[in-house]
Amino acid sequence: MKRGFPILAMVTGLLLSLALYEALIAAPTEKTMGDVQRIFYYHVPSAWTAFLLFLINFVASVVYLIRRDSKSDIVALVSAEVGVVFCTVVLITGPIWARPVWGIWWTWDLRLTLTLVLWLIYVSYLILRRFSTSSQTPLLAAVLAIFGALDVPLVYFSIWFFRTQHPSPVIGGGGSLDPRMAHVLLLNWVAFLSLAWLVCSTRYRLEVAQREVDEAEAVESLLEGSR
Amino acid sequence: MSFLAITRATLGKDIRLEWRSKDAINAMLFFSLLVVVIFSFAFDPTAEDSRRIAGGLVWVAFLFAAIVALNQTWAREVRNQVLDAYRVSPAPANPLFLAKAIGNFLFVSVLEALMTPLFIAFYKLRALGPGWELLPIAVLGTWALVVNGTFFAAISLRTRSREIMLPALLFPLSIPALLGMVNATTAVLTGEGVLRFWIALLVAYDVVFTTACLLLFRTVLEAE
């Protein structure tokens, strides 16, 4: 994995620049929204990446509860951290896009609310990991991740019903997507996935190293104490 | 001892302790009284407005007050190493959890029974829908708060600044339950809206999370 880093970093850099060019210059301008719509190529791939990472977090948490190995715990930690970052990008780019198009910064629409609630759940997950004094933090975190995953369908249905009772603003999209736009969107997603993979694998190595250091320090202080 | 016997013993002990000290219930009562008074200064609602917002106010007050009781749930057991003893004993974990959850349910229910008349008086409430339906909503909603609250109080025991950790863990997960309670209550008070969906949602929430808590509590109890 160590040797793979420069290659992966180069591929990610190339993909991201190509995706940037495609999104800002090559993609056709949207008829009604104009250039603002180009934020779409960052907003949507970030959302997909974040949801994928949250899914990975859930799977890794279940695996951890079954196997109790530190590997799946680190995968869960890393995917939650990077997922929260991508989710934050979604929540920031969303209002920037919504303001000129819908005329409002925020609306309590299904997808927005669900994303916000997911973000809240995973931030609380990270807070638990940070504040825990337990020697079995991974276990408590895995339990919380499973509760979070169970909550998602309930949040979905409650907001879906809550919103259908109220007038909602016109949501962009819904119609068919121009094939050229779809192409640029997919390219951006691939670039974002590559970036996510790069960040996650680096963070994974960092966490492994950190745990080795912690362990070595613990052993050292034990040895010193016994002297 | 059987499952029921352990549940009954733990629950009986908690109720006796609460009956003699009245720590949790007094703190909750005063706290929610403050919330009611502050809300009524903050909003100054007319009867028509208050009918629409009261569902939200009531449940937010109960939610915050419940945190007081939930935070105390395990603190006493930690102080006297009861949890360590429980871990060592051959008794299964779930009766302990159930007893604690039922105990909290009773404390919060007493709070609700005492506070509701005050709410009605302060906000001049009169239900336009069938008022008796508030009872199942209260039962389902309270259980929804309390079951996860008891569980996460056990998790937040193992954190720094645990009083803050409990709401930080509990509130994001409770959003669907809160939506359910508030909208069901508002539907009864205003006589419009679809009550049945929200009750179904609360039932689903209660079933899903009660099951999850019972399946995972042993893991949490045994974690150091």
Query: Which DSSP string do the residues of A120-154 spell out, in sequence order?
Result: HHHHHHHHHHHHB--TTHHHHHHHHHHHHHHHHHH
Question: Which of A131, A155, A160 has the most B C-beta neighbours within 10 Å, making it the best mutation to test the interface with B?
Answer: A131
A45: pLDDT strictly greater than 80: yes
Q: What are phi and psi of A166, to 5 degrees?
A: -115, 150
Answer positive or negative: Cα dihedral of B8, B10, B13, B18.
negative
Which chain B residue has the Cα nearest residue A163? Answer: B179
In angstroms, the separation between the Cα of residue A145 and the nearest Cα of chain B is 11
Q: Which residues of B98-123 are buried (b: 16+ CB within 10 A; e: fewer)?
A: bbbbbbbbbbbbebbeebeeebeebb
The answer to whether residue A209 is domain-embedded is yes
Whole-structure pTM value: 0.87
Domain with A75, as residue range(s), is 5-27+39-169+176-214
- Quick one: pLDDT at residue A170? 44
Among partner residues A131, A135, A147, which is closest to B212 by beta-carbon distance? A147
Q: Using a CB-CB distance cutoff of 8 angstroms, which residues of chain A are in contact with residue B197?
A: 161
Q: Using a CB-CB distance cutoff of 8 angstroms, which residues of chain B are in contact with residue A140?
A: 155, 158, 220, 223
CA distances from A149 to A58, A153, A180, B142, B199 (A): 7, 8, 35, 22, 21
- Quick one: pLDDT at residue A26? 79
ipTM of the complex: 0.86
Q: Is A161 on the interface with B (CB under 8 A)?
A: yes
**pLDDT (tens digit, 9 = 90+) per residue, B31-51?**
888 888 888 788 776 767 777
Contacts 24+ apart (CB under 8 A), A45-49: A45/A185, A45/A188, A45/A189, A45/A191, A45/A192, A45/A193, A46/A86, A46/A87, A46/A89, A46/A90, A46/A93, A46/A192, A47/A86, A47/A87, A47/A90, A47/A115, A48/A189, A48/A192, A49/A83, A49/A86, A49/A189, A49/A192, A49/A193, A49/A196
**pLDDT (tens digit, 9 = 90+) per residue, B103-155?**
999 999 999 999 988 888 887 777 777 778 889 999 999 999 999 999 999 99
Which chain B residue has the Cα nearest residue A132? Answer: B159
Query: Token pair of B130, please?
Result: 């069938």
The answer to whether residue A223 is domain-embedded is no
The answer to whether residue A52 is domain-embedded is yes
**pLDDT (tens digit, 9 = 90+) per residue, A64-113?**
999 999 899 999 999 999 999 999 999 999 888 888 888 888 877 778 88
DSSP tag of A105:
S
> Taking CB atoms and an 8 Å cut-off, how many pairs form between chains A and B?
92
Do B172 and A128 make contact, defined as CB atoms within 8 angstroms?
no
CA atoms of A116 and A87, how far apart (whole Å): 8
Do B169 and A124 make contact, defined as CB atoms within 8 angstroms?
yes
Q: Average pLDDT for residues B178-189, to the nearest whole number?
A: 89
Give Cα A178 distance to the centre of its chain: 26
Query: Token pair of B3, please?
Result: 């499952």
Do B179 and A148 make contact, defined as CB atoms within 8 angstroms?
no
The answer to whether residue A76 is domain-embedded is yes
Q: Average pLDDT for residues B189-212, to the nearest whole number?
A: 89
The answer to whether residue A67 is domain-embedded is yes
Q: What are phi and psi of A32, to 5 degrees?
A: -90, -35
The answer to whether residue A192 is domain-embedded is yes
Among partner residues B155, B180, B193, which is closest to A144 by beta-carbon distance? B155
CA atoms of A14 and A19, how far apart (whole Å): 8
CA distances from A159 to A112, A203, B82, B83, B197 (A): 10, 34, 41, 39, 12
What is the SS3 assignment for A33? coil
Contact in structure between A19 and A191 (CB atoms under 8 Å): yes
Q: How many domains does chain A have?
A: 1
Query: Token pair of B14, please?
Result: 């908690």
Among partner residues A132, A143, A154, which is closest to B208 by beta-carbon distance? A154
The answer to whether residue A105 is domain-embedded is yes
Provide the pLDDT confidence category of residue B214 given band limits of 50, 70 and 90.
very high
Do B209 and A150 make contact, defined as CB atoms within 8 angstroms?
yes
The residues near B159 (Cβ < 8 Å, ≥ 6 apart) are: A128, A131, A132, A133, A134, B165
The answer to whether residue A219 is domain-embedded is no
Q: Using a CB-CB distance cutoff of 8 angstroms, which residues of chain A are in contact with residue B172?
A: 117, 120-121, 123-124, 148, 151
Across chain A, what does the average pLDDT equal? 86
Q: Is A108 on the interface with B (CB under 8 A)?
A: no
Do A121 and B173 make contact, defined as CB atoms within 8 angstroms?
yes
Query: Which is nearest to B186 in space by CA: B40, B38, B36, B50?
Result: B50
Contact in structure between B219 and A143 (CB atoms under 8 Å): yes
CA atoms of B91 and B77, how far apart (whole Å): 16
- Cβ neighbours, 10 Å, residue B55: 22
A1: pLDDT strictly greater than 70: no
Query: Token pair of A162, please?
Result: 């809550």
Type of residue numbered A202: T
- Quick one: pLDDT at residue B47? 64
In angstroms, the separation between the Cα of residue B12 and the nearest Cα of chain A is 29
CA atoms of B146 and A205, how far apart (whole Å): 40
- Quick one: pLDDT at residue A175? 54
State the number of CA atoms in the 13 A half-sphere of B6 facing the CB. Answer: 15
What is the SS3 assignment for B159? strand
